[in-house]
Amino acid sequence: MQLDIFEHSREVMLRNDAAHALERREAQAARAACEQLARENPLDPSLPALQLLAEVIESGDRGAFADHQALRAAREAMLESIVPAALRTFGGSAAARWLGPLWQGLAQRAAPLPFKPEHGLEHAAPLWLHAGDWNAAVQAVTGIASWRRIPMPLSWMAEASLQLHGLQSTWPLLAELSWLSPHSFARVADRSPDPQLPRWLLRFEVDFDDAGDEADLAWLPAWLLTQQPSLAKDLAAAQASRHRPPEQAMRLLVELLGLERQGRHHDIVARRKALRDLSPALYGAYIKTR
């Protein structure tokens, strides 16, 4: 249906006035524009989103959260109401820019709250990730005791590291995360700024014979060495985890690659047998490249 540009120009102008005031974070002007639009066209479909965003910039709450429940309510309001309203009003990338200061404000208000596993997402670190402040996210995670042994903080650190340092430098954290929580590893990979990481996951699912469900991603670091031996040094830097078979297999492959360079055939035979006993599928992937 073709619209009459003159008939609709007034409501378009009012919508634009409200959106431009919101973009500049001019609360009074945004409220006035919303009220004018409501008087002249109360059924305008963009009005609820505009009014909500005007209320958000008017509120300007800067006090620290009293507890984790208060942060949860604010975070859920962001995700369920404010983010969709910003997307409707500004569109994808512009909405992300507009929302950044709001996520930053939530993170600052959440700073005094300690990490508690039962309130995992109610912490400053994931809010800093939403805000795109990777260094602040790193700082927030390092304040969590034993963060490298807890899947959620480890996933936040890996996500920030991917943004700050790239995939190659992040492989040790990613390996540790895959052993601790394959599900968390998959979520980080889906959000990776480097498309190579999700591509590796797809190849693993196709090529690794035992890849039947998400839990099998724990084997990905070991399998990766059968495809990309040059990553041995990076993956070997992963800290010791729970010493389960996927971790044992990766470290065994690092050792095997070293023995192959040295030509130590007797030791190679023994290590290959150990690898076959740990995972026939991984052994098959390794032998295919020999």
Contact 179, 241 (CB under 8 A): yes
Which residue is listed with tokens 């109360």?
Answer: 42
| DSSP code for 191 | T
pTM of the complete model? 0.90
Please give the structure tokens belonging to residue 46: 């963009």
Contact 286, 226 (CB under 8 A): yes
Based on its alpha-carbon atoms, the radius of gyration of the chain, rounded to whole angstroms, reads 25
- Give the residue among 75, 167, 150, 132 at the shortest CA–CA distance from 141: 150
> What is the three-class DSSP state of 45?
coil
List the pLDDT tens digit at each of the 290 positions of the chain. 234 444 568 888 989 999 999 999 999 999 999 999 999 999 999 999 999 999 999 987 779 999 999 999 999 999 999 999 999 999 989 999 999 999 999 999 999 999 999 998 999 999 999 999 999 999 999 999 999 999 999 999 999 999 999 999 999 999 999 999 999 999 999 999 999 999 999 999 988 877 667 889 999 999 999 999 999 999 999 999 999 999 999 999 999 999 999 988 888 999 999 999 999 999 999 999 88
> What 3 state SS string does 117-128 have?
HHHCCCCHHHHH
DSSP string, 214-233: GGGGGGHHHHHHHH-GGGHH
How confident is the model at residue 8, as a pLDDT?
63
Q: Which contiguous run of DSSP H or E holds residue 209?
A: none
How confident is the model at residue 270, as a pLDDT?
93
Q: Whole-angstrom Cα distance, residue 157 to residue 184?
A: 12
How confident is the model at residue 3, as a pLDDT?
41
| Burial of 135: CB neighbours in 10 Å, binned 0-12, 13-18, 19+ | exposed
Cβ neighbours around 12 below 10 Å, total: 12
How confident is the model at residue 6, as a pLDDT?
47
